[in-house]
Amino acid sequence: MAGDNFNPFRMAQEQFDKVADFLDLDEGARGLLRNPMREYHFNIPIRMDDGSVKVFRGFRCQHNDARGPSKGGIRFHPQETIDTVRALSMWMTWKCSVVDIPLGGGKGGVICDPHNLSMREQEQICRGWVRQLVRNVGPLQDVPAPDVMTSAQHMLWMMDEYEAITGAKYPGFITGKPVGMGGSLGRTEATGFGLIFTVREALKQLDIRPQDTIASVQGFGNVSQYAIRLYNQMGGTVICVSCWDQADQKSYAFRRKDGIDLDQLLSITDKFGGIDRQKALDLGYEILEGPQWIEQDVDILLPCALENQINADSVKKISSRVKIIGEGANGPTTPEADRVIEEMGIFNIPDFLANAGGVTCSYFEQVQCNMNYYWTKDEVLGKLDQKMTEAFIAVSELAQRHGIYMRDAAYVISVGRVVEACRARGWI
């Protein structure tokens, strides 16, 4: 999805191999964890609005479920690939493990572009996805959630189809549902807020006040929007955001040196996170090429879009002023770029720790659904803050104790927990 020559699954395997060497894992453990335990490929035939039939390709990967049911989102994207889904399912395993929630890693996707589909057509894809997988997913097997270009409405259609087929009510089958239909308060904010909870802890460790920092953000979807809101509330200033322009099929960055106005930008943003360029110009924003978000002279970089955004080429453009990178996206930084970031002395908060707020709150939603008892937003966000802070401290302390990179420390904890569960079950 992020470049013709980039393979996210090879990158995920390379990251795993590095920590497997560090942990001195045997061949059995490596063989089990280097690839998904199960994966499904299938066709979804849809009657389009014009009467024609179009066939969409769908996927689901279940990487490892030793610690609990698989958990992971469903992406709708025209460049979706099975290797992207494989990589994301692996990262979900480590993400659930590093924040110590009793779930494994899964991921799903459909090759489609919601921009060009009516809501009826999107509903048919959602229902068709469930029909293909109904025997292989469920609250005790594999719990889906929203991801890139899917929403609470898509999740509700999927839940409705699952319940129609099974003949029972299973609100815990899927998370990210609308509030009032089994959804959790705080879920919308969770990934972005969770990211900033970890940034806050990094700033504390570096003895930097949030109000003395400025940031540049890639992406302007749900994660980015709520991350900016909480960062602003802490006193920080965002001077640049980038987003994808569907009409031009390229990204643009929007910069205002005295700080962006989040609510103002939201008022000229479409449902896919695209900002109206002409209106932004009228409001005093500079329009830059999308990749220029990474070149800004800031203290904090927050990649909150897709994978492979900080790579061997783009990492060279990072300002020497940058002190923290918080990875709101999945797999935004390649191993080659990691080495440069480490040499630069930048405090990097790895993706499967930094953006684990979403799956943590999804777990909270699942718990509430299974109990049929729902918490207040303050209660949800309080529990989220506690989980994210505890996970950050555990990773940071390990990194300092062994003198290793934060990503490596996060992998040591997460992979170690999964290996322990696999061994306890007698799998390896």
Q: Has 257 been annotated as catalytic?
A: no
Question: What is the CB neighbour count within 10 angstroms for residue 259?
Answer: 14
CA 409 to chain centre: 19
Catalytic entry in 18, 54, 95, 107: 107
Asked whether 108 and 38 are in contact (CB, 8 A), the reply is no
Asked whether 280 and 264 are in contact (CB, 8 A), the reply is no
CA 86 to chain centre: 14
Question: What is the CB neighbour count within 10 angstroms for residue 54?
Answer: 15
Known catalytic residues are 107
